[in-house]
């Protein structure tokens, strides 16, 4: 084959904010599939804040990225050639093959998705890890009940926007925290949040939260950490639950992230904070995916995607995650389907 596989590898481990220099583009021969393998051409790749954590060489729930190796992450591909009985050319599959234009996958490394349910890109977003993160974090840890108040930081982000909608489905009062007028309008008008707070223009977050939550905070879905979370935690109700999903405010800090210690609040309120990653719920993914798909088909769940075009734009799309501009799920489209029916 004369076409080469373009890859983006980790060039160095960033200290503080990553930059374009964090990445390097390389080209490789494409491996023909062996028995039980398929050759995939990448259609979409996901860029997610959690990937920043994998750039550290530190122990975590998931292995760090290796220097000079392809950046791993959720991607969708189309089967080009198949040596597996499970897949036909033209099949659309999802897997963790990351930032490269082609991938030769063992058949168990990927999973077929049904392009008839919803646009295939949604399998990296609302119907994929993003939606499942929202679903399990909110329902399994947050356990909201009707009439309770649910506060969400990073509310206009990929996960936050799904959390808020599920919280509405569950009959709660939903308060979103986000950082631009455009996001605030999106949350109010498209997702029908009950209250929204623009933390960038708020002069006193504690007061804003008090105003938006006259009955206090029963569930706080934390995507950001930092001072926003300090303020929300100070308004927890008794027996409040705090699913801790992300701490984007701290991912690029060069020193230790310091703030008020939480112990006294947790004791006074008999409150719970539980960190999690969606992988903890792997056995229950089918349950979550079926429910999310059903809500989507019933029109109870909507989604927003920002789709960038072009493999070469992946690093910039990733860096944009930390600028706080995007709404909903951020994806990069790498190529078109060839076998689109």
- Kindly tell me which residue out of 15, 31, 60, 294 binds a second copy, with binding defined by CB under 8 A: 60
Q: Which is nearer to a second copy, 85 or 256 (CB)?
A: 256
Q: Which is nearer to a second copy, 250 or 306 (CB)?
A: 250
How remote is the C-alpha of 105 from its chain's centroid? 24
CA distance 320 to 303: 19
Structure-token pair, residue 299? 């029109």
Region near a second copy per CB under 8 A, out of 64-72, 120-128, 172-180, 266-274? 266-274
Structure-token pair, residue 99? 């930032």
- Kindly tell me which residue out of 64, 90, 275, 324 binds a second copy, with binding defined by CB under 8 A: 275
According to the binding rule CB under 8 A, does residue 244 interact with a second copy?
Answer: yes
Report the site for a second copy in 158-187 (rule: CB under 8 A).
none
Region near a second copy per CB under 8 A, out of 13-21, 55-63, 144-152, 180-188? 55-63
Please, what is the minimum distance in Å from the beta carbon of residue 132 to a second copy?
15
Q: Which is nearer to a second copy, 50 or 97 (CB)?
A: 50
CA distance 195 to 254: 34
According to the binding rule CB under 8 A, does residue 268 interact with a second copy?
Answer: yes
**Residue ranges of the alpha helices (H) in 143-251?**
158-169, 181-185, 205-212, 226-233
- Kindly tell me which residue out of 81, 185, 198, 280 binds a second copy, with binding defined by CB under 8 A: 280
According to the binding rule CB under 8 A, does residue 206 interact with a second copy?
Answer: no
| Phi-psi domain of 16 (left: phi exceeds 0; alpha: psi -120 through 50; beta: other) | left
SS3 per-residue string spanning 76-128:
EEEEEEECCCCCCCCCEEEECECCECEEEEEHHHEEECCCCCCCHHHHHCCCC
- Kindly tell me which residue out of 74, 160, 176, 246 binds a second copy, with binding defined by CB under 8 A: 246
Structure-token pair, residue 148? 């309770």
How remote is the C-alpha of 131 from its chain's centroid? 8
Report the site for a second copy in 79-98 (rule: CB under 8 A).
none
CA distance 222 to 204: 19
- Kindly tell me which residue out of 61, 112, 206, 207 binds a second copy, with binding defined by CB under 8 A: 61
Q: Which is nearer to a second copy, 53 or 315 (CB)?
A: 53
Residues that bind a second copy (CB under 8 A): 53, 59-61, 222, 225-226, 229, 238, 244-247, 250, 256-277, 280
């Amino acid at each position: 084959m004369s076409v080469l596989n373009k890859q983006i590898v980790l060039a160095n481990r960033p200290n503080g904010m990553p930059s374009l220099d964090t990445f390097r583009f390389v080209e490789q021969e494409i491996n023909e599939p062996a028995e039980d393998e398929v050759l995939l051409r990448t259609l979409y790749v996901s860029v997610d804040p959690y990937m920043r954590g994998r750039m550290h060489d530190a122990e975590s729930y998931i292995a760090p990225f290796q220097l000079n190796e392809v950046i791993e992450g959720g991607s969708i591909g189309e089967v080009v050639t198949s040596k597996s009985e499970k897949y036909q050319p033209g099949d659309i599959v999802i897997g963790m093959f990351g930032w490269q234009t082609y991938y030769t996958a063992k058949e168990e490394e990927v999973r077929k998705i049904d392009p008839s349910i919803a646009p295939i890109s949604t399998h990296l977003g609302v119907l994929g890890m993003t939606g499942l993160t929202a679903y399990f974090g909110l329902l399994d840890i947050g356990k909201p009940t009707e009439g309770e108040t649910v506060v969400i930081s990073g509310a206009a982000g990929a996960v936050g926007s799904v959390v808020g909608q599920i919280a509405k489905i569950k009959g709660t009062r939903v308060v979103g925290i986000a950082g631009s007028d455009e996001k605030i309008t999106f949350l109010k008008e498209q997702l029908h949040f009950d209250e929204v707070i623009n933390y960038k223009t708020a002069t006193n977050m504690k007061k804003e939260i008090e105003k938006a939550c006259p009955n206090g905070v029963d569930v706080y879905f934390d995507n950001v950490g930092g001072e926003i979370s300090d303020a929300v935690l100070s308004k927890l109700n008794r027996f409040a639950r705090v699913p801790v999903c992300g701490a984007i405010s701290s991912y690029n800090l060069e020193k230790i992230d310091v703030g008020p210690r939480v112990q006294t609040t947790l004791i006074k309120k008999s409150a719970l904070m539980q960190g999690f990653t969606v992988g903890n719920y792997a056995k229950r993914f089918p349950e979550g995916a079926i429910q999310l798909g059903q809500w989507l088909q019933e029109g109870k769940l909507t989604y927003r995607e920002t789709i960038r075009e072009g493999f070469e734009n992946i690093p910039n799309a990733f860096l944009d995650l930390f600028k706080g501009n995007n709404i909903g799920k951020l994806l990069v489209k790498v190529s078109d389907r060839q076998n689109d029916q």
